[in-house]
Structure 1
Amino acid sequence: MANDTLAGNLRLGAIPRQQVSHTALVNAVEGTLADFLTPQIAMLDAIDPSLGGFARTARDLVMAGGKRLRPTFAYWGWRGVAGAGGNAEAVLPALGALELMHTFALVHDDLMDDSATRRGRPTAHRIFGARHGERFGSSAAVLIGDLCLVWADQLLARTPLPAATLLEVRARYDRMRIEAVAGQYLDVLGETDPASWSVDRALVVARHKTASYTVQWPLDFGLALAGTDDPEVAEAYRVYGTTVGEAFQLRDDLLGVYGDPAVTGKPAGDDLRTGKPTTLLMLARRMATPAQLGELDTAGIGRKAEIVAETGAPARVEEMIRARVAEGLTALADAPIETEARSVLVELATVATQRPA
């Protein structure tokens, strides 16, 4: 059981006062996920072997690595007020639930974008499509995402905390999910008419699709796990979470065009291929000359990436990233949280926004 054994033979009590690598924390979350998923798969396998295979594919997508940022931010949000003496074991199911929710979002996002790979592996709809055709692949991917969301609810409910605390945690979790869905809808909507989109609206998408459920709400989720609602801490987490979360998405916009697929695990140029109106591309259109603007509408993906760079939009996005991180760190500087948690959150702001993947 997750209470006894962790991936890599790490014990829950070994979650340390650790630096930004968070090795023990990540292993603890992944051990909790693995222990939770094993009986879930067995239950479906007992109904029909094909369901067992379906569930194992879902498990493999959950366990396929990734940065584990959401449980990490939630843990340090909790640790900031619970302190080093807090019961980390008790919050592990809640942290694992965030990773299951994230898999739900990724699987559906990949389907909507028709992305071929994620974390260097085929996406869910491509895995199933290779077996029984494109339509089957799309249907199975929807169900994989749905299953992960149900699993997230189940694992969250196993968090051994007082009912009143779990009610507050659940309120944050529900708000996180609603904002993620809202942001995803706006993201899809923007692709239907990118010419009428704007930088401001692209930032609204970034704030709701990514920032709120990557940084802002996980931090607040962690605060609720600690059984407190200190308004000063909540406000510091809100500003830090919003600004660092937006910077995270802005970095993602740059990586989506200029990242190395061998490092990111995703094809380069997907946003250019689909015409997704990201902040980067909206800035490029605003800053382009008439000739560049015309070529942006007709050129191939490689040339489009060159034109975007020529407009100066990537440098402007880098400035926006730096400004947002600075604002977030300023908000965190005087927050009444544990010193070590503040130090780690400062490091995480850099890790999340200056990453190569």
Structure 2
Amino acid sequence: MLELRRTAAEPTGLVDDPLMAGDVGGAAETVLGRVLDARLARAREVDAVFSRDVAGRVTAFVRRGGKRLRTAFAWCGWRASGGSGDLTAVLETGACLELLQACALIHDDVMDGSVLRRGAPAVHVDLARRHWAARMAGSPESFGASAAVLAGDLALAWADDLLTEIALGSPHGPALYREWQAMRTEMVAGQYRDLHAQATCASGLDEAVTIATLKSALYTVERPLALGASLAGADEHALEALRSAGRCAGLAFQLRDDLLGAFGDPARTGKPVGDDLRGRKLTYLLAVALRLADATGDEEAAAALAPGGAASGDAVERVRAALERTGARAVVESKITELAAMSLRHFGRTGAEPAVRREFAALVERASGTAPQRTADSG
């Protein structure tokens, strides 16, 4: 799935018929690599130290991980809306999405104090280690966090620059840019609502859904589908169907990520397990468990799940046990299956060709973990 087959005579990143080619993943990696190489070369022209420490880490971070789901969903939106021929613009839009994702993850790890991402030290941790190795003055942790913020800012700047270039070169540029503008604001809003929920010890189910939608569902699936569709000049009917499909699939993706955050294997997810539980982050999983504990009068579970609880290892195990005992894990599994099925029904309303519908179904399975492969895109 999504792996381009090209001959040596074909130009890099270009394919005349993506459905005949079979899979665009290889082309997406080629285009992304070309974008990163160009940005890193420009950074070297600006300053060697900045290029080595910041730009180099951003490009390495983007290269080493993620399942490129956002790129694949952008391609599906493009194809579902009649896109054909030159893939360059849609694959470069995918590169923008990967850079935006890098910004979000780098900043998120700083805010959450996460030490591992994509199977390697988080960017702020890696930069703090450089501080120690270089025997710099001051606090390694402060240096690492501050430099990582700049690294995330750089990833966002690169994404914005590239998206602007794409929009200027497309007859559908204004529509494309409107989707991009909305997505950036939604992502920041979701991140703030996440922080706000922690600070206020929120526990409501509606708030958990709002956070999951803004922070993840929209920019993981809904907006990538709409970005691809915009490049193809999609009409409002197609966009509405794609947005509905994307929101359902995006929520399923986030709910799977919540489960993996609580019960996953770090060797497979590439990030620590239990961080959200330790920080009592308001997830749909936690909100469901609190509601079930209250409905059944399970005071022990309610106490373990309550916002503002202790962050010890024993406390995390008690939370995990409460998620199982209340039945919240099973409820969320069922909700994921329901959302994935709804997503496919909405996508069918686009009138996309059968091959594109099959591709979308396979992507939803990967994102939601409803297929035998149970890992989600950890970034």
TM-score (norm 2): 0.85
| SS class of match (2:81) | helix
Farther off after superposition, 116-125 or 330-339: 330-339
Give the Cα–Cα distance (whole angstroms) in 2 for the partners of residues 98 and 138 of structure 1: 23
Give the Cα–Cα distance (whole angstroms) in 2 for the partners of residues 142 and 17 of structure 1: 40
Deviations 1:99-133 (A, max 9, x none): 11110111111111111111001111111122330
Deviations 1:286-320 (A, max 9, x none): 11211222234455212321221111100000111
- Among 194, 197, 212, the residue aligned to 1:206: 212
Q: Is the 8 A contact 1:11 1:28 kept in 2?
A: yes
- Among 277, 296, 300, the residue aligned to 1:291: 300
Mapped pair 1:156 → 2:157: no
Q: Is the 8 A contact 1:16 1:24 kept in 2?
A: no
Give the Cα–Cα distance (whole angstroms) in 1 for the partners of residues 67 and 20 of structure 2: 16
Mapped pair 1:233 → 2:233: no
| SS class of match (1:66) | coil
Q: Counterpart of 1:114?
A: 113
Give the Cα–Cα distance (whole angstroms) in 2 for the partners of residues 61 and 103 of structure 1: 7
- Alignment CA distance shift 1:24-1:18 (3 Å): farther
Q: Counterpart of 2:123?
A: 124
Give the Cα–Cα distance (whole angstroms) in 2 for the partners of residues 266 and 324 of structure 1: 25
Deviations 1:129-162 (A, max 9, x none): 2233011111111100100111111222332764
Number of residue pairs aligned between Structure 1 and Structure 2: 346
Q: Which has the higher helix share?
A: 1
Q: Counterpart of 2:95?
A: 96
Q: Counterpart of 2:38?
A: 36
Q: Is the 8 A contact 2:54 2:150 kept in 1?
A: no
Q: Counterpart of 2:68?
A: 68
What pairs up with 1:1-357 in 2 under 5 angstroms? 11-14=12-15, 16-17=18-19, 22-44=24-46, 47-83=47-83, 85-132=84-131, 133-159=140-166, 162=169, 164-194=171-201, 196-226=202-232, 228-288=233-293, 289-296=298-305, 297=309, 299-354=314-369, 355-357=374-376
Give the Cα–Cα distance (whole angstroms) in 1 for the partners of residues 21 and 14 of structure 2: 16
Give the Cα–Cα distance (whole angstroms) in 1 for the partners of residues 111 and 284 of structure 2: 19
Give structure 2 stretches of 5+ with no counterpart.
1-5, 132-139
| One-letter amino acid of the counterpart of residue 70, structure 1 | R
| One-letter amino acid of the counterpart of residue 144, structure 2 | G
Give the Cα–Cα distance (whole angstroms) in 2 for the partners of residues 52 and 78 of structure 1: 36
Deviations 1:146-189 (A, max 9, x none): 00111111222332764552221111001001001101100111
- Alignment CA distance shift 1:57-1:331 (3 Å): same
Give the Cα–Cα distance (whole angstroms) in 2 for the partners of residues 164 and 344 of structure 1: 27
Shift of 1:22: 4.6
Give the Cα–Cα distance (whole angstroms) in 2 for the partners of residues 177 and 231 of structure 1: 21
- Alignment CA distance shift 1:161-1:131 (3 Å): closer
Farther off after superposition, 17-26 or 157-166: 17-26
| SS class of match (2:193) | helix
Deviations 1:213-267 (A, max 9, x none): 00001111111111x1312211110110011100100000000000100000000
| One-letter amino acid of the counterpart of residue 303, structure 2 | G
Give the Cα–Cα distance (whole angstroms) in 2 for the partners of residues 317 and 208 of structure 1: 19
- Alignment CA distance shift 1:53-1:162 (3 Å): closer
Q: Is the 8 A contact 1:70 1:215 kept in 2?
A: yes
Give the Cα–Cα distance (whole angstroms) in 1 for the partners of residues 59 and 129 of structure 2: 19
Give the Cα–Cα distance (whole angstroms) in 2 for the partners of residues 163 and 41 of structure 1: 27
Q: Counterpart of 2:137?
A: none
| SS class of match (1:13) | coil
| SS class of match (2:80) | helix
Give the Cα–Cα distance (whole angstroms) in 2 for the partners of residues 193 and 21 of structure 1: 46
Give structure 1 stretches of 5+ with no counterpart.
none
Q: Is the 8 A contact 1:172 1:217 kept in 2?
A: yes
